[in-house]
């Protein structure tokens, strides 16, 4: 791989980590959603990253969904509660989601730093020819 491919490869990483951040933010935003016990709970989304088809960088291979069973919570005042007072909530752990968010954010920043360094290298190479 040459220096000139660095921006393209880092760009694929930026895309993967942006989609990971999108999934984490969606999970956090919906973690307190409630549904009837007869319905599915919100399913957490997990991005599956894989090597790009051309071998240069990464790509999103798909999205895995968490459990639709969720967890039963006793909340008799909720309008969606069943006869026993239970509702279904998503089985999403905030601390795990925050840790994933920090990892994805750092990786996103690292890939952007690679793009910035490659740009500096290209500029220095052009200036050598002047």
CA 30 to chain centre: 14
Q: How many residues does the chain have?
A: 130
Do residues 12 and 57 touch, judged by C-beta distance below 8 A? yes
pLDDT computed for residue 7 by the predictor: 85
Give tens-digit pLDDT for 22-80. 999 999 999 999 999 999 999 999 999 999 998 889 999 999 999 999 999 999 999 99
Q: 24: which strand partners?
A: none
* Assigned token pair, 124: 């220095």
Confidence of residue 3 (pLDDT cuts 50, 70, 90): low
């Amino acid at each position: 791989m040459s220096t000139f491919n660095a921006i393209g490869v880092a760009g694929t990483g930026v895309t993967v980590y942006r989609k990971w951040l999108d999934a984490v933010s969606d999970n956090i935003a919906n973690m307190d959603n409630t549904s009837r016990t007869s319905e599915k709970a919100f399913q957490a989304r997990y991005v599956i990253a894989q090597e790009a088809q051309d071998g240069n960088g990464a790509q999103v291979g798909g999205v895995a969904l968490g459990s639709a069973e969720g967890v039963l919570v006793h909340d008799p005042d909720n309008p969606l509660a069943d006869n026993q007072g239970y509702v279904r909530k998503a089985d999403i752990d905030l601390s795990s989601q925050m840790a994933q968010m920090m990892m994805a954010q750092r990786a996103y920043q690292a890939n952007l730093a690679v793009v910035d360094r490659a740009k500096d290298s290209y500029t220095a190479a052009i200036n050598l020819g002047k």
